[in-house]
Amino acid sequence: MNQQQLFEEIQKKRSFLCVGLDTDIQKIPPHLLETSDPVFSFNKEIIDATAEFSVAYKPNLAFYESLGSKGLVSLEKTVAYIKENYPEIFLIADAKRGDIGNTSNLYARAFFGEQDFDAVTVAPYMGEDSVKPFMTYPGKWVILLALTSNKGAFDFQFIEDRETGDKLFETVLKKSQQWGSEENLMYVVGATKAEKLKEIRAIVPNHFLLVPGVGAQGGSLQEVAHNGLNSKCGLLVNSSRGIIYASGEVDFAEKAKEAAREVQQEMEALLQEAGLI
Ligand SMILES: O=C(O)c1cc(=O)[nH]c(=O)n1[C@@H]1O[C@H](COP(=O)(O)O)[C@@H](O)[C@H]1O
């Protein structure tokens, strides 16, 4: 999927919501535990309930890998289900990968060759040769960690370069633009750091940003949109727990739908206000 197609989906659905499929077996409603694949059963119902309000899904690999081979089967079935039933939806593997080039090549093959993800989250720490292998697949995207939503973001990401005065996350944004373009590179910016989005937009005016941290982590969608929207929306805002665990009972899918609709309606108003729909 290219940038224009993603923007058109956003306009069509009047939403830039990414639903995080962080499916924790310990939080799945008890009645689903009797099915042969509780994680997939949960995901399928969540997807069917929220697809009309979301333009992207983001399974976080930790939730699947932690279940061993069974979890990987649930993930594969989830990917296949989305691709078959909702092919217009942008599918992100939240894996935060990155290693020496030879190894990154195989990570890239895992997500883009073996599985049919549209994008994968990548850590920039090991530099250019660790990131570029993910960019060799046409139509596929790298989503590079820039300024993350967690407290630990302050450990390294704000360290200033003595020569340029740039903070580390600014260096990541600037340097990585030599590796890819706005057609294959997005950045993660946490919603909890929304006040930084204006400065970030000055460096990357046209790139899409994946913004996690609204909902359970308390980031403000309004602030994210006011500081981060660009002429093609340029934002995918993720909420995981705030949507998929809106209820832990038999009505979980219905409640997830309501939660997704609520966010979509707020997004629609923000898109209208910005003249994007
Ligand atoms: O790369 C990410 O998606 C990510 C980056 C970041 O800075 N902060 C962050 O929360 N995430 C992920 O986004 C999701 C947030 O989940 P909720 O807090 O439940 O909405 C989790 O899957 C996190 O691993």
Q: Using DSSP, state whether 180 is helix, strand or coil.
A: coil
pLDDT of residue 227: 98
Q: Say if strands 235-239 and 17-21 run parallel, antiparallel, or are unpaired.
A: parallel
Q: Distances in Å between the alpha carbon of 92 and those of 13, 49, 121, 159, 236?
A: 18, 19, 7, 29, 11
Q: What average pLDDT score do residues 118-143 get?
A: 98
pLDDT of residue 142: 98
Tokens representing 105?
């090549």
167 catalytic per annotation: no
pLDDT of residue 116: 96
pLDDT of residue 55: 98
CA–CA distance, 251 with 29 (Å, rounded to integer) = 9
The answer to whether the CB of 47 falls within 8 A of the CB of 57 is yes
Q: Write the pLDDT tens digit of every residue in 221-255.
A: 999 999 999 999 999 999 999 999 999 999 999 99
pLDDT of residue 274: 97
Q: Write the pLDDT tens digit of every residue in 182-229.
A: 999 999 999 999 999 999 999 999 999 999 999 899 999 999 999 999
DSSP annotation of 40 reads H
The answer to whether the CB of 142 falls within 8 A of the CB of 122 is yes
pLDDT of residue 81: 98
Query: H helices within 177-218, ranges in order?
Result: 197-203
Q: Write the pLDDT tens digit of every residue in 1-47.
A: 999 999 999 999 999 999 999 999 999 999 999 999 999 999 999 99
**Mean per-residue pLDDT over the chain, rounded:** 97
Q: Give residue 163 CA to ligand 1 midpoint distance, Å.
A: 32
CA–CA distance, 137 with 11 (Å, rounded to integer) = 26
pTM here is 0.98
Q: Which residues line ligand 1 (CB under 6 A)?
A: 20, 22, 60, 94, 121, 148-150, 188, 190, 212-213, 215-217, 238-242
Name the residue among 180, 199, 36 with its Cα closest to residue 122: 180
Closest residue CA from atom 8 of ligand 1: 149
CA 72 distance to own-chain centroid: 19
Ordered by where they begin, the domains of the chain are 3-273 (3.20.20.70)
Q: What average pLDDT score do residues 115-129 get?
A: 98
Q: Which residue has 């119902």 as its token pair?
A: 45
Query: Which atom of ligand 1 is nearest to 214's Cα?
Result: 20
Q: What average pLDDT score do residues 134-155 get?
A: 97
Residue 255 parent element (H or E): helix 252-273
Best substitution site from 90, 186, 188 to test ligand 1's pocket, by max atoms within 8 Å of Cβ?
Answer: 188
Tokens representing 33?
């535990």
